[in-house]
Amino acid sequence: MTTEQRTAKGFSYTLERTLEAPVAAVWSAWTTAESYAQWAHAVPGSVEMDVRPGGTWKATMVTPDGGQFPLTGSYSEVDENRRLVVGMDVPGKNEPAVMTVELAEQSAHQSRIVVAQTCDTAGERDLAEQGATMLLGSLTAFLKSAN
């Protein structure tokens, strides 16, 4: 399910999925550098994560056409197995792009994930939503292969 809205602060999207994995496995996939690199299309060995409020992260991502681009950011909220608020540094902007990831246990083997972000323009929102949709697809496949 996807919802989009225009707010006073910008353009938002929210993506929700049910994943066939326990919350702890989803959290680990999102917050462990080795796992994240596998499903998020990062260059092996390029991911570094200090998952705590104020901690930083970096990764070099690989695009579908084989290009590479470095990303950096920080964590503003970390509530293990529940909520992760991740900032991504954006060249030319004073404030990071912020993505919120919320997890909830549906059953012993199912989790609900909600990814949300607010962007400055509809175009930025559309690109961010496309990227998040691809990430969730990759995460879903990774979790299935891990079981």
Each residue's pLDDT tens digit, 97-110: 999 999 999 998 99
pLDDT attached to residue 147: 67
At residue 126 the predicted structure's pLDDT band, cuts being 50, 70 and 90, is very high
What are the residue ranges spanned by the domains of the chain? 2-146
The Cα–Cα gap between 15 and 2 comes to 5
For domain 2-146, the CATH class is: alpha beta
pLDDT attached to residue 9: 63
At residue 4 the predicted structure's pLDDT band, cuts being 50, 70 and 90, is very low
